[in-house]
Amino acid sequence: MALVICDDTDVPQALALSDAAHWNQVADDWRVFIRDGHTLGLRSAGGPLVATAAALPYGAHRGWVSMVLVAASWRHQGLASRLLSAGVAHLRQRGATPCLDATPAGAPTYQKAGFRTGFGLARWEGQGAATHPTLTPPVRRADAVDLPRMVALDGAANGMQRQFLLHDILARKGTRAWITTNGDGFVISRLGRRATQLGPLVARNEHDAAALLLAALDQTGGPVFLDLPDRWQMLSELLTRRGFVQQRPFVRMAMDGVDVQRANDRMFLLAGPEFG
């Protein structure tokens, strides 16, 4: 089984793995992992990728581990652990603490590798309303001039430097973003394989977060996924009233004693478990 560093030619095979797992990533997401991170794969001689893992450096001190995928016929052979170890080693060589969001099924594997459990979150799914073509204060549509402010807010809320990620997402066809009129919060909507993904959402308080979330839902049609830390009960109740249901739980995990016990006071929706 050959270990390879993935490049752009591997995007279709990597996308086939995430599709088989019924995940929401699109080809543009895999290009971010490959171009801006360190994406590893395993393949048998002359065959397609059968497993992947990605490590994204988020500044000098933290990194993100994700896309740990193994084809169904190759599971329970230690492939995921092998790739996870390689991704963690890459981040450690850069001096970055590895972090990730794990499903309950995956958490024991990550705990054995040295990750410690932090705050809980859940993926919610529902339908966007697409009923309000216009916006009212305190929310307006964001544009290119708002990118530096959004990058700064995102970094302050999660302690990670993700300018390359926000720049990539905002440049994609179909992406939309909203920002509060005072510039203290924003939310991004991007196209996914199975649903529109909302997040990240950063705001100064839960009331502003609710205004941003409602604006995005009211201007988005079709299926919607979003990832909400468990601590935000008002937003959970809002989503329930809108007919959303929890699809699956996750838990934030990190190495080296990094404190991820509680979601940051200004981070309300994540960019997705693959990006944090």
Domains and their CATH numbers in the chain:
2-95 (3.40.630.30), 122-269 (3.40.630.90)
Coil/strand/helix, residue 88:
helix
- Tell me, rounded to whole angstroms, the distance of Cα 39 from its chain centroid: 16
Residue 190 pairs in a beta bridge with 197
Percentage of the chain surpassing pLDDT 70?
Answer: 99
Q: What is the pLDDT of residues 20-45, one digit of tens each?
A: 999 999 999 999 999 999 999 999 88
User: Is the separation of the CB atoms in 158 and 276 below 8 Å?
Assistant: yes
What are φ and ψ of residue 73, in 5° steps? -75, -5
pTM: 0.95
- Tell me, rounded to whole angstroms, the distance of Cα 101 from its chain centroid: 9
Q: What is the pLDDT of residues 65-112, one digit of tens each?
A: 999 999 999 999 999 999 999 999 999 999 999 999 999 888 998 999
**Alpha-carbon dihedral sign for residues 249, 262, 24, 197:** positive
Whether residue 238 is predicted with pLDDT greater than 70 in this model: the reply is yes
Both tokens assigned to 267: 């981070």
Whether residue 134 is predicted with pLDDT greater than 90 in this model: the reply is no
Which residue, among 18, 22, 19, has the nearest Cα to 54 in the 3D structure? 18
Whether residue 130 is predicted with pLDDT greater than 80 in this model: the reply is no
Q: Tell me, what's the pLDDT at 168?
A: 97
pLDDT, average across residues 190-210: 97
Q: Is the link from the previous residue into 138 a cis peptide, with omega within 30 of 0?
A: yes
User: Is the separation of the CB atoms in 3 and 57 below 8 Å?
Assistant: no
Whether residue 263 is predicted with pLDDT greater than 90 in this model: the reply is no
pLDDT, average across residues 228-250: 97
pLDDT, average across residues 151-166: 95
Q: Tell me, what's the pLDDT at 132?
A: 67
Whether residue 136 is predicted with pLDDT greater than 90 in this model: the reply is no
In terms of C-beta density within 10 A (0-12 exposed, 13-18 middle, 19 or more buried), how is residue 274 classed? buried
**Alpha-carbon dihedral sign for residues 177, 222, 123, 275:** negative
Alpha carbon separation from 219 to 2, 129, 208 (Å, rounded):
46, 7, 17
Q: Tell me, what's the pLDDT at 133?
A: 67
Which residue, among 164, 173, 162, 170, has the nearest Cα to 145 in the 3D structure? 170
